[in-house]
């Protein structure tokens, strides 16, 4: 589809896009859904884009929703990058995961267990931190206190 062309009806895969836009443990899927919904100017798409703009934990998804809404002529503000914890009690969860591993575990063990146990946290921070994710996670891991 031409980038300039905006369709006003509802896409045939709307329900699938709606589900993808709300998939908590996959920021890439949410981003793709936002990009696709941004080609369909209708109230249903606008509502989903507004929800992603206002609630998504990953800045890249919020920013894409902002740009699509602006292209529709909506009066929205550029989202600010959130500071601190993006999800409730992340520090506690990370500490719990670290404590569940043997005392002499390696960073990769911690990273793997986080990904298996809490893909929602892993995915959200990976999406938000981008290329800085590994260094952020390793620094966070090393700073977590042991008993």
Residue 98 lies in a domain: yes
Instruction: Specify the number of domains making up the chain.
Output: 2
My answer on whether 66 and 94 are in the same domain is no
* 1-5, 37-41, 137-141, range with the lowest pLDDT: 1-5
> Is the predicted pLDDT of residue 139 greater than 70, yes or no?
yes
Residue 5 belongs to some domain of the structure: no
Considering the domain architecture, whether residues 65 and 19 belong to the same structural domain is answered as yes
Task: Mention every residue, 6+ apart, whose C-beta is less than 8 A from residue 7.
Answer: 1, 39, 40, 41
The residue whose two tokens read 């520090």 is 91
* Full-model pTM: 0.78
Phi, psi (degrees; rounded to nearest 5) at 7: -95, 145
Helix axes of 59-71 and 119-129: crossing angle, nearest 10 degrees: 60
Token pair of 91, please? 């520090």
Domain that holds residue 66: 14-71
Residue 83 lies in a domain: no
Q: Judge if 18 and 51 occupy the same domain.
A: yes
SS3 12: coil
Which of 22, 37, 71 is a domain's end point?
Answer: 71
What's residue 35's pLDDT? 96
In the block, residue with structure tokens 């620094």: 139
Q: What pLDDT, on a 0 to 100 scale, did the predictor assign at position 88?
A: 86
- What are the pLDDT digits (tens) for 27-67? 999 999 999 999 999 999 999 999 999 999 999 999 999 99
């Amino acid at each position: 589809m031409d980038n300039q062309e905006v369709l006003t009806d509802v896409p045939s895969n709307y329900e699938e896009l709606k589900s993808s836009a709300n998939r908590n443990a996959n920021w890439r899927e949410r981003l793709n859904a936002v990009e696709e919904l941004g080609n369909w100017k209708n109230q249903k798409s606008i509502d989903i884009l507004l929800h992603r703009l206002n609630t998504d934990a990953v800045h890249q998804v919020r920013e894409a929703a902002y740009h699509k809404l602006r292209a529709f002529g909506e009066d929205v503000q550029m989202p600010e990058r959130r500071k601190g914890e993006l999800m409730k009690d992340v520090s506690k969860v990370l500490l719990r995961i670290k404590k569940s591993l043997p005392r002499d575990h390696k960073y990769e063990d911690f990273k793997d267990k986080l990904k298996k146990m809490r893909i929602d946290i892993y995915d959200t921070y990976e999406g938000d931190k981008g290329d800085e994710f590994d260094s952020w996670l390793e620094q966070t891991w090393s700073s977590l206190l042991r008993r």
